[in-house]
Amino acid sequence: MSELGRFQDAFAAALAERASAPIAAWLPNGEGDGEAEPAGLAVYRNTIAKGCVDALAANFPTVASLVGDDWFRAAAALFVREHPPTSAALLAYGEAFPDWLDRFPPADDLPYLPAMARLDRMWTTALFAPEAQPLAAEAFALAPDALAAARPRLHPSLAFAWFDSGLPGLWLAAREPEPGEMALTDDPQGVLIARPDDMVHGRLLDAAGFAFLTAARDGASLGEAITAAARANPAADLATLFAALIADGAFSGLDLGDLA
């Protein structure tokens, strides 16, 4: 390892340990002998901590808006101390934040908060997912037997989930520029999040749509996925469901197998 590399590793250790000992070899004689954190090192550490807190606020905007800036930044500062970044890029920082909120006592009175964080995380994941061209409706213009046997590949940015209550609706409402009155319903809801082009979008997903996407994710053919959707909701308009998923940019490929 180069001298610069050794110094960078030692400097990171000094910041984490809040002590000058790891970088003693690069300090003037006597300055790195104690265990106390030098004032200059504290400035660097605080600057990094603020950057991490700012990144969390950007990556979890719904959580921040629901709890307020003071609460969020106090919680985020504690999270940062326990989970320092492992990369210089903070664009997607906070993978462990939803689970951390599950164990954070001050959030006990806000049982919906970890789910809001997980939904925010899904949005961020979609934002930085690999690029892929979504399939247009014309790609599905096949003979009925070939279409039923084809296996769709989901777009790499696509994320979806199911909840036992109306948390997705609350989350979507909270992300509006002017949320207005928000209410948490008891009805189960699903959510779909995707970035087929430059923008991430999200919408509610019903039981049939969730069943379809789950089957497709698990390798089912289109015919099998449609059957799963019909079982989940026999009253579902399957043609409309499929058209909506195409409009969402949910598919990036179609494997025709022997029928190609």
Write the burial class of residue 189 (CB in 10 Å: 0-12 exposed, 13-18 middle, 19+ buried). buried
pLDDT of residue 86: 78
Q: Which residues pair with 160 in a beta bridge?
A: 192
137-259 CATH choice from 3.40.50, 3.90.930, 3.30.300, 2.60.40: 3.90.930
What is the Cα–Cα distance from 205 to 212, expressed in whole angstroms? 10
Number of helices and strands in the chain (H, E) = 11, 5
At residue 222, what are phi and psi to the nearest 5 degrees? Answer: -60, -40
State the pLDDT at residue 24. 62
d(CA 190, CA 179): 20
- Token pair, residue 45, equals 């550490």
Phi-psi region of 52 (alpha: psi -120 to 50; beta: other; left: phi over 0): alpha
Q: What is the pLDDT along the chain (260 residues), one digit of tens a residue?
A: 666 566 556 655 655 556 666 656 656 664 555 555 555 565 555 667 788 999 999 999 999 999 999 999 999 999 988 888 877 778 889 999 999 999 999 999 999 999 999 999 999 999 999 999 999 999 999 999 999 999 999 999 999 999 999 999 999 999 888 776 777 888 999 999 999 998 999 999 999 999 999 999 999 999 999 999 999 999 999 999 999 999 999 999 999 876 55
Residue 28 Rama label (left phi>0; alpha psi -120 to 50; beta):
beta
Strands (E), 108-246: 151-154, 159-163, 189-194, 201-205
Distance in angstroms (rounded) separating the CA atoms of residues 216 and 242 = 12
Residue type at 75 in one-letter notation:
A
Report the alpha-carbon distance of residue 128 to residue 89 in Å, rounded.
12
Domain ranges in the chain are: 38-127, 137-259
Q: In this structure, how many other beta carbons lie within 10 angstroms of the beta carbon of residue 171?
A: 27
Q: Please count the residues of the chain.
A: 260
Q: Is the pTM of this model over 0.75?
A: yes
Residue with tokens 């970044």: 85
